[in-house]
Amino acid sequence: MSFASLGLNAQLVQAINECGYTEPTPIQTQAIPLVLKGGDLLAGAQTGTGKTAGFGLPMLQRLSETKAKPLANGRPPVRALVLTPTRELAAQVEENLRAYAKHSDLTTLAMFGGVSINPQMKALGRKVDIVVATPGRLLDHVSQRSIDLSRVEMLVLDEADRMLDMGFIRDIRRIIAKMPVKRQNLLFSATFSNEIKQLAEDLLHEPEHIEVATRNATADTIAQRFYGVDKNKKRALLSYLIGHNNWQQVLVFTRTKHGANRLAMQLDKDGLPAMAIHGDKSQGARTRALSQFKEGKLRVLVATDIAARGIDISELPHVVNYELPHVAEDYVHRIGRTGRAGSQGEALSLVCFEEKPLLKAIEKLIKQSAQLEILPGYEPLPDSQQPPIEKPGANNRGRGGNGGRGNGGGRGQNPRNANNKAPRSNRPNQPQRHGRHDD
């Protein structure tokens, strides 16, 4: 199967070749001909499947086939809008679309918050065919009348489930109200809650449905490992694994912003250069951390789920679930950061006793049972025997990359651990309270 045989024109095929794509991914094979036909689309797919080209290539082709009528004020209109949940995803989608549009005269603009609005205003003074935006900043532009959406011909909701999770539904509806009724709508979502189904029903007109296998179903390029570990020794085990295995580029997931900050600080103290990205960091700090990580200058990037949405780093070798996500689908999103485009990746999960119910939910979703590995010195302990949480840096200074074992939180380090060998899994399950995602 070639891109040309899907009906794409020579300019686009050339741009795709220059991107290094040799053949279409499953979502592209399905989506491209359908979008070219002009109808609405409901697609079950997530980042990492090649969905950006799946909607972006036919979008560019359709826009290049017709000429847009100028707005009443004589200015060229915005013709397509892509809404994304996060700034990082908006930046990445726009970058991809720009590469695909290289040999056409179509222009793109990314628009998101956390950065000054002025350069975006200035850019809107020129011809912009495609805007890729997060909902909040787009509405700022709408209210300042710096953008006119009345001629939008195509709308893409990218990662719609995330946008709803993040509370963007009202913003999305306000944005839709600014667009003409007649337009092509494409909705991409990894999951299909009732809320998404409702949105699809309201938004889409006789849509075609496509669904591509989630990464868990094609996980042969991702080796998944699960370590049973004491909650208070997770950080030590993580340092140990990174140092011992000499991993140079590791993406680590925590559940909360606070947890991400704390872990990044602790790893840094352990001699493992680390930074955190999450919703409370300034956009500048997020972009810096991400680009240093992508360039291989930063060894560990600690992220919350939402901040990490859409991060695409080719051939990212290691993803660690420092804490299991509350929502099992997030596990699939997280590990989808590794093992991309056929390269081998490894996804590790550190699982403490309290997380057993979360692990069960993941096992059910991925239809695999997780074999817990236990490293000596890091065994899960019964609740009542938990040692106090170590003070950061108390025992861990100057460890370099060699990790936690035998130094901070390793075997028998706390006398209260040393005497207790009872495996935690023997204890009855207790009701747990979990914090919620706070990003």
Applying CB under 6 A, the residues found at the interface with ligand AMP are: 21, 24-25, 28, 47-53, 312, 314, 340-341
Shortest Cβ distance from residue 269 to ligand AMP (Å)? Answer: 33
Shortest Cβ distance from residue 207 to ligand AMP (Å)? Answer: 20
Report how far residue 273's alpha carbon sits from residue 270's, in angstroms, rounded to the nearest whole number. Answer: 8
CB neighbours of 20 closer than 8 A, spacing ≥ 6? none
Shortest Cβ distance from residue 53 to ligand AMP (Å)? Answer: 5
Report how far residue 137's alpha carbon sits from residue 34's, in angstroms, rounded to the nearest whole number. Answer: 30
Shortest Cβ distance from residue 138 to ligand AMP (Å)? Answer: 21
Shortest Cβ distance from residue 25 to ligand AMP (Å)? Answer: 5
Q: Per-residue DSSP letters for 74-135? A: SPPPP-EEEE-SSHHHHHHHHHHHHHHTTTSS--EEEE-SSS-SHHHHHHHTS--SEEEE-H
Instruction: For ligand AMP, give the closer residue by CB, 47 or 185.
Output: 47
Instruction: For ligand AMP, give the closer residue by CB, 139 or 335.
Output: 335
Instruction: For ligand AMP, give the closer residue by CB, 97 or 147.
Output: 97
The long-range contacts involving 66-72, CB below 8 angstroms and separated by at least 24 positions, are: 68/129, 68/151, 68/153, 69/151, 71/148, 71/150, 71/151
Report how far residue 115's alpha carbon sits from residue 393's, in angstroms, rounded to the nearest whole number. Answer: 35
Shortest Cβ distance from residue 51 to ligand AMP (Å)? Answer: 5
Within 306-406, where are the H helices? 328-335, 356-366
Instruction: For ligand AMP, give the closer residue by CB, 25 or 189.
Output: 25
Instruction: For ligand AMP, give the closer residue by CB, 13 or 302.
Output: 13
Structural Rg of the chain based on CA atoms:
23
Report how far residue 301's alpha carbon sits from residue 254's, in angstroms, rounded to the nearest whole number. Answer: 11
3-state secondary structure of 185: strand
Place of tokens 């689908």: 329
Instruction: For ligand AMP, give the closer residue by CB, 13 or 352.
Output: 13
Instruction: For ligand AMP, give the closer residue by CB, 89 or 358.
Output: 89
3-state secondary structure of 47: coil
Residues found in the chain: 439
The strand pairing partners of 302, in sequence order, are 252, 276
Shortest Cβ distance from residue 385 to ligand AMP (Å)? Answer: 45
Shortest Cβ distance from residue 6 to ligand AMP (Å)? Answer: 11
Instruction: For ligand AMP, give the closer residue by CB, 16 or 164.
Output: 16
3-state secondary structure of 196: helix
3-state secondary structure of 224: strand
Instruction: For ligand AMP, give the closer residue by CB, 28 or 407.
Output: 28
Report how far residue 305's alpha carbon sits from residue 437's, in angstroms, rounded to the nearest whole number. Answer: 8
Shortest Cβ distance from residue 27 to ligand AMP (Å)? Answer: 8
3-state secondary structure of 43: strand
